[in-house]
Structure formats: structure tokens, C-alpha cells
Amino acid sequence: MSTSHKAHCLILPYPFQGHINPMLQFSKRLQSKRVEITIAATKSFLKNMNELSTSVSIEAISDGYDDGGIDQAKTYEAYLTRFKEVGSDTLSQLIKKLENSGCPASDVPTFVINPEGERILQVLVNQFSNLDKVDWILINSFYELEKEVIDWMSNIYPIKTIGPTIPSMYLDKRLHDDKEYGLSIFKSMTNECLHWLNLQPISSVLYVSFGSLAIVEAEQMEELAWGLRNSNKNFLWVVRSTEESKLPKNFLEELTIEKGLVVSWCPQLQVLEHESIGCFLTHCGWNSTLEAISLGVPMVTIPQWTDQPTNAKLVKDVWEIGVRAKQDEKGIVRREIIEEYIKLVMEEEKGKLIRENANKWKEMARNAMDEGGSSDKNIEEFVSKLVTIS
Ligand code: UDP
């Protein structure tokens, strides 16, 4: 876990003396180099220790045997099984507590730290189980975007980036038949959105969407609604029909068409490409993130779950094309923060670099797919191999 100011390490030793001792010493070394430290130790271990005089912060988790630890369990197997069950739960609570006190552990995908995400994690881990047998792994990204990770993973797996996989009309324009697939039921909404955007000045509109799956908490929806209304920006907001009941009472009735348009679906790529769009307030789903990058739209991120917090971290700290709105201790981003971050990205001097970087990445995404670009070369290579095999 790190911020641009101070790193914070959560240390998780096995609850045995021989593991805790060296970890404690290592933690002190880190702390002396200005890294904030929290050691997670089991209640039973802490109870049986003589006074632990250390400046390092120690937090209790449970192994399910709070009175006697390993001695209370009948066997090592029983101990470890219970530790896995109970420990992961109390560790998640500790991580939440640290997040609420300002520590960004929340950059980690939620299925790694939330016990309820264990099944998603299992599905993902299973995907890796046969990877040593495959010839190619094609990834929806581009080399320049994730160089370090791709270089490192290439040593282990035969990965090739082939993205961004969006229609060529938004990138290199080399395909002739890549008109977006659109359902006719959405036609009137497409027309409505584009008509409304056509009336707006250049780079003046905030586009807001939380994708096709995320269920936003009612309290968060309310804050979002007031944050958008209080901002001095016009907005296009996609609120899925299943989410609409969470809007504040009379919000839609009182919203003027000059100020904002709320729709249940929009043609996102056409919207992001529109010259009136100045910023995308997003949940940071991977597709939305790549689409915003490809179309050069800077972002305010409010990630919800799965990989979204990690994508938001990359947007903010690595590619520097957006900000991540701060949550309060309840995990809600308040209306004042929403207003503040929208202004930062869309109009303030502080957001200038973000806006410039967004244009830079747009260019790089296009180049990756264009003739001879990194993704184009990988696709060529893949096709050559296929031809050889067949
Ligand atoms: N999308 C769209 N119109 C909408 C909302 C979403 O076209 O009103 C598309 C968006 O362009 C993206 C996808 O739906 O391609 C959402 O994928 P993402 O990975 O961003 O989020 P998820 O829905 O998986 O959370």
C-alpha cells in the first residue's frame, strides 16, 4: 500500500514466535525509513506475550482460538483450517479499519481482501491453472500502457497485448466495416444523447456512468446526485433503471434539461468521442477505463468493486490521467468532494497535466493499433502462427 507521500505496510506473520520475531525487526527497519507499519497478530499470540514494548503498531486478528491459539487446537490441521476461515474475515475487518483511517489499501482488487469475493478470486485463480499449456494469451491492453507488468509476465506466460479492442473508427480508422453494433431499442436514446451533447460547448460536459453491473449504495447515489447538481458543470448521467429508485426524491423532476440529462443507457464510445465531453466520472471498469484512455477523456474515479480500485490507482498514480475521489470513514464519497474533484479535472490549473496526459495516452492507444504499432504487430504475429498451423 502506498500513497505519493508515505507508504504503509501491513505485515502478516504466521502467529509463531519464530515468524513474529524477524518480522518485528524488519518492521522496525522499515519504520526507521519512514514507512508506516501495522503488524497483524492473533489475539491468542498477543495474550501470551510478555509486554510487547515496541513503537510499531500492532493490531489483533483472530485465529479462531483466541484463548490458547495452537495449543487450544487439537491438531495443526485443525488450527490452520480455522485460521483460514476466521483469520481472513478479521483481517478484512482490519484492512477496512486501516482504509477508514486514511490508509489506501483499497487499491487492491476487492476480491482479494473481502471474504465475500473469495468465489470470484477462485474463478480467476482457476483461469491460471492451465496457462502453462497454452501457446498464446491475448490481453485487452496495449504494451505502452502496462510495460513493466507485461515485460515481467512475459517471462512466465506467452502473453501478447492486442488492444484496445474498440472499433477502429475511434482509433486507427483502418477497418471499413466496424460500425458499432447497436440495439435498435437504444436508437432513440442514442439520438437523445447526441442531440443534447451537440448543444453543449466544447469540453464542458461531465459524463457519468458506473457501467452495467455495479450496484451503487443508495447513500452514495444521493451524494452523487447533489454533487453533480451543485457542480457548475452540465452532465450526462447513465442511471440504470434498476438504480433509479435510489435517486433523491424529486431529483429528476427538478432537473432542468439545460443542466443535465439522465438516461438509462447511452452509446458510451460515441459520447466519450464527442467534443463536448470534458471529463468522465467513472467506476473504472476495465472497458470504460480503456475507452476513456483511447478517446483522451480525463477521469474522476469512484471505484466500486473487483479490479476497479486497482484500475483507479493506475489512472491516478501511473498514467496520471485522473483522480480518485476520497471516501469518508463510511466508504462514501461526499458531494463536496465530488464537486471539488470535477472542478480540479475540468478547469483548474492543477488539473492541466491530467488533461494533457489524457491526450498523450489517446495518441499512444491509437499508435498501438495502427500499422506497425505494438498491438498490431502482435495480431500480425498471431495470424502468421495460425496460418502456419493450418
Ligand atoms: N456501456 C455503454 N453504455 C452505457 C453503459 C455502459 O455502452 O450506458 C458500455 C461501456 O462502453 C463499456 C461497457 O458497457 O464497454 C461496460 O464495461 P466496463 O468494463 O466499463 O464495466 P462493467 O459494466 O463490466 O462494470
> pLDDT tens, 190-227?
899 999 999 999 999 999 999 999 999 999 999 999 99
Out of 55-59, 67-71, 378-382, the most confident range is: 378-382
Pocket lining: 215 vs ligand 1, CB cutoff 6 Å: no
Residue 117's pLDDT is 78
Average pLDDT over residues 369-383: 97
Mutate to test the pocket of ligand 1, among 181, 185, 189, 212 (most ligand atoms within 8 A of CB): 212
- Which residues are CB-neighbours of 143 under 8 A, at least 6 positions away? 150, 161, 368, 374, 375
- pLDDT at residue 32 tops 90: yes
Q: How far is the CA of 155 from the centre of ligand 1 (A)?
A: 32
Q: What's the grid cell of residue 209?
A: 456512468
Look at ligand 1, atom 1, and give the residue with the nearest C-alpha.
268
Average pLDDT over residues 289-309: 97
pLDDT confidence of residue 242: 95
- Provide the pLDDT confidence category of residue 53 given band limits of 50, 70 and 90: low
For residue 288 and ligand 1, the question of a CB distance below 6 A is answered with yes
**φ, ψ of residue 225 in degrees (nearest 5):** -60, -50
Model pLDDT, residue 51: 55
Is residue 286 lining ligand 1, measured as CB closer than 6 Å? yes
pLDDT of residue 2: 45
Return the higher-pLDDT residue of 99 and 375: 375
What is the pLDDT confidence band of residue 239, given thresholds at 50, 70 and 90?
very high
Residue 67 pLDDT exceeds 70: yes
Of 361, 260, 352, 341, the closest CA to residue 300 belongs to: 341
CA gap 81, 253 in Å, rounded:
55
pLDDT (average), residues 74-94: 88
**Mean pLDDT throughout 262-269?**
95
CA 216 to centroid of ligand 1, rounded, Å: 15
pLDDT band per the 50, 70, 90 thresholds, residue 17? confident
- Rounded to whole angstroms, how far apart are CA atoms 218 and 225? 11
- Radius of gyration for the alpha carbons in the chain, expressed in angstroms and rounded: 24
- Residue range 267-289: mean pLDDT, rounded: 97
pLDDT-wise least confident of 3-7, 158-162, 248-252: 3-7
Give the per-residue pLDDT at 330. 86
211 lines ligand 1 (CB under 6 A): yes
State the distance from the centre of ligand 1 to the C-alpha of 302, rounded, in angstroms.
15
Report whether pLDDT(144) > 70: yes
Alpha-carbon distance of 296 to 170, in angstroms, equals 11
- Ligand 1 in contact with 214 (CB < 6 A)? yes
* CA 216 – CA 228 distance, rounded (Å): 15
268 in ligand 1 pocket by Cβ < 6 Å? yes
- How much is the pTM? 0.87
Instruction: For residues 211 and 284, give the distance between their C-alpha atoms in angstroms, rounded to a whole number.
Output: 8
Choice between 99 and 304, residue whose per-residue pLDDT is larger: 304
Question: Following DSSP, what letter does each residue of 104-154 receive, concatenated?
Answer: -GGGS-HHHH-GGGHHHHHHHHHHTTTGGG-S-EEESS-GGGSHHHHHHHH
* In the predicted structure, residue 73 carries a pLDDT above the cut 80: yes
In the predicted structure, residue 119 carries a pLDDT above the cut 90 = no
Q: Is the C-beta atom of 374 inside 6 A of ligand 1? A: no
The pLDDT of residue 180 is 66
- 381's enclosing H/E stretch is helix 374-389
Mean model confidence pLDDT for the chain: 91
- Tell me how far the alpha carbon of residue 123 lies from the centroid of ligand 1, in angstroms: 21
Gap from CA of 241 to ligand 1 centroid (Å)? 15
For ligand 1, mutation pick of 120, 235, 268, 302 (most atoms within 8 Å of CB):
268
CA of 282 to the centre of ligand 1 (A): 10
| Residue 190 identity (one-letter amino acid) | T
Q: What is the average per-residue pLDDT within 108-129?
A: 82
Which residue is it, cell 508506516?
36
Backbone φ and ψ for 126, nearest 5 degrees, come out as: -60, -30
Kindly state the percentage of the chain with pLDDT values over 90: 70
CA–centroid distance, residue 288 to ligand 1 (Å): 6
- Confidence at residue 187, expressed as pLDDT on a 0 to 100 scale: 83
For residues 325 and 231, give the distance between their C-alpha atoms in angstroms, rounded to a whole number.
15
Residue 318 neighbours by CB distance under 10 Å: 11
Neighbours of 6 (CB within 10 A): 11
> All 3 cell numbers of residue 56?
510499531
Using CA atoms, how far apart are residues 344 and 320, in angstroms rounded to an integer?
13
Per mean pLDDT, which range of 43-57, 257-271, 275-289, 327-341 is the poorest?
43-57
Residue with CA at minimum distance from ligand 1 atom 7: 268
Say how many Å lie between the CA of residue 178 and the centre of ligand 1: 18
Q: Using CA atoms, how far apart are residues 117 and 109, in angstroms rounded to an integer?
A: 9
Identify whether the C-beta of residue 280 lies closer than 8 Å to the C-beta of residue 297: yes
In the predicted structure, residue 44 carries a pLDDT above the cut 90: no
In which band, very low, low, confident or very high, does the pLDDT at 3 lie, cut at 50, 70 and 90?
very low
Give the number of the atom of ligand 1 that is nearest the alpha carbon of residue 238.
Answer: 8
Is the beta carbon of 310 within 6 A of some atom in ligand 1?
Answer: no
Residue pointed to by grid coordinates 457548475: 232
